Amino acid sequence: MNRVFLSLLVLLFGTLISCRGVNHSNETIKAIEKTDSCLTDAANKYEVYIPARKKEEEKLPLLVIIDAHGSGKFALNKFKLAAGKYPMILVASDYVKNGFEGYDRAIQTLINDVRGKYPVGKALFLTGFSGGARMALGYALGHPADGLILCGALAGRNEISALSCPIISISGTDDFNFMETAQYLFQEESLPHNLKIELTNASHSWPDRLMLANAVGYLHFVTPNAESANKTTQLTAYNQQQQTRIESLKQQGDYLKAALIARNMASVELSDRNKTFATTYNSLKNDVVYRNQLSRLGNCLNYEIGMRQTYVEAFNTKESNWWKNEINTVEGKIKTEQDAMRADMYRRIKGFWGIVCYSLGKQAITQHNTDLLNRVLYVYRTIEPENSEMYYYSAFPPFWQGNNEATISVLRKALKAGFTDLNRLKTDFPESISSKL
């Protein structure tokens, strides 16, 4: 009797395991989002997102995201739409940011940690914004990578050509760093073969989610290591989406942006076996509207280059009244200029002022140059009144005068505005000040 009962139990248990196994294989593994840190370096924190997938053992490509300010969660959210369309594991650093020494080693530590913990496949992509883009590129120059998406910053031909993987540059036409991308728009014959350019109107910030999804999709289809079970079906849909984007931009009269998309797609045989995109690109670039837009852009850039040197010199030679008039003039042009290209030019000029303020302000602090710092701060406060670095720089004049109370008050404003570099603060100011913040 006991033997019969035991046999029934074994049979029933086996049946339950079998049924459970069948159900488990049919279940979709839910998306995972969490904050993690590297086992070998707890300070190296990152955000991770794994989209829903059908099999727990399914390997996915890895996209490492480097934000200029170390805002991992914010940057990761920009790519969730992309990860849903083209499944991949997203990892965004909370640790690596502008000015980070040893970023190459920190990124490698992060990648090693992720590979040891999560279902990462062969393909490795990197993306970054501004200084994050520069670090992503710098890392790729010393390590294998399957593709880069660089937003708000680019590099010279030698660095780009040194990489064998595709590089997608997404640049805002109103971004002060646009010059770095614009150089590649006028001499197609010298364009590095692996560089693909898209233009947007994002100023100096991460592009929108849809544009980033388009960029991720491009890398997904041109990378052999990118695992996917239904690439052919996805590719057909992707091609149709790009055709729609091109037609929409043409209808808006933006032939320059439309031509760049067509050129990117035409360079991929997998996407353009019928030469549809190549035909579209040749038609666009030979159109008088495209040629006029490129010529107008060139004129704006030439004017801007000349003005940049004038403005750098003005920080040392011009008084506040001159700057007040210049700032009012440029801000007025931004609001009233009817020509979109010229309006973008004025936005770039204003953005350039901010970068010069940051750079010269840092120099003035190092040199303990009160006069230069005060000149810089007048412009900085006027054009970026809530900038955290501006507040931080503003703490030095009262500190040099021995006014600790005013110094603490200004530093608190810097922290409230988003200043996060506490190590720098503790180095620049004594404990008697930093301990009261």
Distance from C-alpha of 235 to C-alpha of 221, rounded to nearest angstrom: 7
Distance from C-alpha of 98 to C-alpha of 300, rounded to nearest angstrom: 30
The angle at the Cα of 320, spanning 315 to 322, to the nearest 5 degrees, equals 80
Cα–Cα separations (whole angstroms), residue 111 to 121, 279, 372, 420: 12, 41, 43, 25
DSSP string, 38-101: ETTEEEEEEEEEE--BS-TT--EEEEEEE-TT--HHHHHHTTHHHHHHS--EEEEESS--TT-T
Task: Kindly give the confidence (pLDDT) of every residue in the chain, 437 residues in length, as a single tens digit, with 9 standing for 90 and above.
Answer: 444 444 433 433 343 333 334 344 556 788 899 999 999 999 999 999 999 887 777 899 999 999 999 999 999 999 999 999 999 999 999 999 998 999 999 999 999 999 999 999 999 999 999 999 999 999 999 999 999 999 999 999 999 999 999 999 999 999 999 999 999 999 888 889 999 999 998 778 999 999 999 999 999 988 876 555 566 778 888 989 999 999 999 999 999 999 999 999 988 766 556 688 999 999 999 999 999 999 999 999 999 999 999 999 999 999 999 999 999 999 999 999 999 999 999 999 999 999 999 999 999 999 999 999 999 999 999 999 999 999 999 999 999 999 999 999 999 999 999 998 888 999 999 999 999 99
Residues of the chain with CATH 1.25.40: 292-434
Closest CA to 267 of 323, 197, 216: 197
Amino acid of residue 162: A
Per-residue pLDDT, 233: 74
Sheet holding 41-50, edge to edge: 32-38, 41-50, 89-93, 60-66, 120-129, 147-151, 167-172, 195-200
Residues of the chain with CATH 3.40.50.1820: 32-229
Closest CA to 127 of 177, 85, 78: 78
Please provide the CATH number assigned to the domain covering 32-229: 3.40.50.1820
Distance from C-alpha of 85 to C-alpha of 98, rounded to nearest angstrom: 30
Per-residue pLDDT, 14: 43
Neighbouring C-beta atoms of residue 80, cutoff 10 Å: 17
Consecutive H or E run containing 391: helix 388-394
Distance from C-alpha of 34 to C-alpha of 341, rounded to nearest angstrom: 42
Pick the CATH number of 292-434 from 1.25.40, 1.10.246, 1.10.8, 1.10.10: 1.25.40
Contacts of residue 212, defined as CB under 8 A and 6 or more positions apart, other chains included, come to 78, 79, 81, 82, 127, 149, 151, 170, 206
Closest CA to 94 of 70, 78, 76: 70
Q: Are 93 and 29 in contact (CB under 8 A)?
A: no
Does the predicted TM-score (pTM) go above 0.85? yes
Per-residue pLDDT, 54: 79
What does DSSP say about strands 89-93 and 41-50: parallel, antiparallel, or unpaired?
Answer: antiparallel
Amino acid of residue 29: I
